[in-house]
């Protein structure tokens, strides 16, 4: 019995998949990457990305044709909008919500009647998404031996007007800190080198269970203590925080512990306050810059990454210029710049998408140029110095080279290095720098 799991989405979906895999292996299935030899095919997908959903449709039609010639059961889960769930019910044997994962073996056994089973559950409504506790009890089968994601929270209460996540994943729920810390401890003991704490809105961790649960800064400190108490070298990241909940004590915690990586991903989305209000982000530019100043003061070596949306409904050229100015001021090491696209379910989907595709491309190019310039300036300053690098793979575009990342998550091409180093830390002397990347050799 073989099962193939197809993951189409972000790190959170990948992390969810690791737990799905664990339950399915527990049922006696062997995993395969080859859909053609699987008798069970599962999709973990994300409705927030239209491309992912389009791909699900093209794949399920193909799989349903295969059913004419061989036995095959299909299921789908992930962060799926209710509207897509209803459509998937007709196409898949089973649609379930991630919080129902512990019941998956039972649901699969009932397959055939499973569509009805799922339908009954879907009718219970979005509140059911809150019940993640049992899901988190499932031990994942990690896809890498040296890098791991640890979910600390699910869902989001922020309701940014462009975003569908609060509708696909429901309200914010924090995972018990004891469980998070136990998982981190296990990973460290197993020799994992990079751990990313995951959530839609990580720094509001614990706020849904005030008085019962610790804060995000306290959670980071406890993770930091795990690092201090052992010999192992490892880096802990988190993604993504919201500027509104980014308190100075979070940055102080990172400064105080060696294992807390000096890298901050802080989505800004826009450099214009009026647009930020329209996006329902509700923070000022001054507040954002104050966080950046705190980072520069307390974590002088930290890299700063961000997310930006161009061409949001109503965005003017002047507003784009404000974003450009903010980018110049901060000097981001990386900016994931996305062209706005309306997402079903999100509030802004009802507003006019009034920036033309061509304008969106032009605006993206303007910001990408600033991004490249600031990254190059930063990377040039690294040439000649030696940095700790986590070697993470073979370089597909350069024979004999490996790839790795610095603590600040800057990608490094490591020349003339043996594959046996993958999954280890190495001291790398940086020999050259380019926009968005570095190259070096083992020191």
3-state secondary structure of 64: helix
Shortest distance, position 173 Cβ to ligand 5AD, whole Å: 19
Question: Exposed/middle/buried for 109, CB within 10 Å: 0-12, 13-18, 19+?
Answer: exposed
> Using omega within 30 degrees of 0 as the cis cutoff, is the peptide bond preceding 46 cis?
no
Site for ligand 5AD contains 309 (CB under 6 A): yes
SS (H, E, C) 136-181: HHCCCCCCCCCEEEEECEECCCCCCCCCCHHHHCCCCEECCHHHHH
Residue 414 contacts residue 440 (beta carbons within 8 Å): yes
Cβ-based nearer residue to ligand 5AD, 201 or 379: 201
426 binds, among ligand SF4, ligand 5AD, none (CB under 5 to 8 A by kind): none
- Applying CB under 6 A, which part among 28-36, 145-153, 339-347, 396-404 lies near ligand 5AD? 339-347
- 405 conformational bin, left if phi > 0, alpha if psi -120 to 50, beta if neither: beta
Closest distance to ligand SF4 from the beta carbon of 307 (Å): 8
Q: Which of 218, 307, 429, 435 binds ligand 5AD (CB under 6 A)?
A: 307
- Answer yes or no whether residue 206 interacts with ligand 5AD by CB under 6 A: no
Binding at 343: pick from ligand SF4, ligand 5AD, none (beta carbon under 5-8 Å per type) = ligand 5AD
Strands 2-8 and 30-31, by their bridges, are parallel
- Please list every residue from 120 through 159 that binds ligand SF4, using CB under 6 A: 156, 158-159
State in angstroms the smallest separation of the CB of 338 from ligand 5AD. Answer: 4
Nearer CB in complex with ligand 5AD: 216/340:
340
Q: Which is nearer to ligand 5AD, 8 or 187 (CB)?
A: 8
Q: Give every CB contact of residue 89 below 8 A, 6+ residues apart in sequence.
A: 95, 115, 118, 119, 122
Using CB under 6 A as the binding rule, whether residue 163 contacts ligand 5AD is answered as yes
Strands 437-442 and 402-406, how do they pair? Answer: unpaired
Residue 160 beta carbon to ligand SF4: minimum distance, rounded to whole angstroms:
3
Pick from 2, 9, 239, 15: which is nearest to 144 by CA?
15
d(CA 295, CA 333): 14
For residues 77 and 107, the answer to whether their CB atoms sit within 8 Å is no
Minimum gap (Å) between residue 128 Cβ and ligand 5AD: 24
Task: Tell me if 18 sits within 8 A of 143, measured CB to CB.
Answer: yes
Q: Is 343 in the site for ligand 5AD (CB under 6 A)?
A: yes
**Shortest gap between Cβ of 382 and ligand 5AD (angstroms)?**
27
What element of type H or E holds 41?
Answer: strand 40-46
Q: Which region, judged by CB under 6 A, interacts with ligand 5AD, from 86-94, 172-180, 340-348, 413-421?
A: 340-348
Residues lying near ligand 5AD in the complex (CB under 6 A) are found at 162-163, 267, 269, 307, 309, 338, 340-341, 343
Residues lying near ligand SF4 in the complex (CB under 6 A) are found at 156, 158-160, 163, 165-166, 200-201, 242
């Amino acid at each position: 019995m073989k099962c193939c799991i197809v993951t189409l989405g972000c790190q959170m979906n990948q992390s969810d998949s690791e737990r799905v895999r664990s339950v399915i292996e527990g049922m006696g299935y062997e995993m395969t990457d080859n859909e053609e030899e699987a008798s069970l095919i599962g999709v973990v997908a994300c409705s927030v990305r239209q491309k992912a959903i389009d791909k699900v449709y093209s794949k399920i039609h193909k799989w349903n044709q295969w059913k004419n010639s061989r036995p095959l059961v299909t299921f789908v889960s992930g962060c799926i909008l209710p509207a897509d769930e209803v459509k998937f019910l007709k196409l898949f044997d089973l649609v379930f919500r991630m919080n129902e994962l512990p019941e998956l073996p039972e649901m699969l056994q009932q397959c055939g009647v499973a569509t009805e089973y799922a339908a009954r559950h879907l009718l219970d409504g979005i509140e059911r998404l809150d019940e993640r506790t049992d899901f988190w009890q499932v031990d994942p089968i990690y896809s890498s031996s040296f890098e791991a994601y640890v979910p600390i929270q699910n869902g989001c209460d922020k309701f940014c007007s462009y975003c569908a996540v609060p509708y696909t994943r429901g309200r914010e729920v924090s995972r018990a800190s004891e469980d998070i810390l136990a998982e981190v401890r296990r990973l460290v003991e197993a020799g994992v080198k990079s751990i990313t704490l995951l959530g839609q809105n990580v720094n509001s961790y614990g706020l849904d269970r005030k008085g019962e649960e610790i804060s995000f800064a306290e959670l980071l400190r406890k993770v930091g203590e795990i690092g201090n108490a052992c010999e192992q070298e490892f880096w802990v990241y988190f993604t993504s925080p919201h500027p509104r909940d980014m308190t100075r004590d979070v940055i102080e915690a990172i400064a105080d512990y060696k294992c807390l990586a000096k890298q901050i991903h802080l989505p800004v989305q826009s450099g214009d306050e009026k647009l930020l209000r329209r996006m329902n982000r509700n923070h000022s530019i001054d507040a954002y810059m104050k966080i950046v100043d705190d980072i520069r003061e307390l974590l002088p070596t930290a890299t700063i990454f961000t997310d930006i949306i161009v061409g949001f409904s109503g965005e003017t050229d002047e507003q784009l210029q404000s974003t450009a100015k903010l980018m110049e001021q901060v000097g981001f090491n990386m900016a994931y710049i996305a062209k706005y696209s309306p997402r079903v379910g999100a509030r802004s989907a009802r507003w006019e998408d009034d920036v033309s595709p061509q304008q969106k491309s032009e605006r993206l190019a303007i910001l990408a140029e600033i991004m490249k310039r600031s990254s190059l300036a930063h990377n040039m300053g690294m040439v000649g110095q030696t940095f700790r690098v986590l070697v993470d793979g073979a370089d597909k575009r350069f024979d004999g080279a490996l790839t790795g990342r610095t603590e600040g998550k800057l990608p490094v091409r490591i020349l003339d290095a043996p594959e046996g180093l993958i999954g280890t830390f190495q001291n790398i002397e940086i020999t050259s720098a380019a926009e968005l990347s570095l190259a070096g050799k083992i020191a």
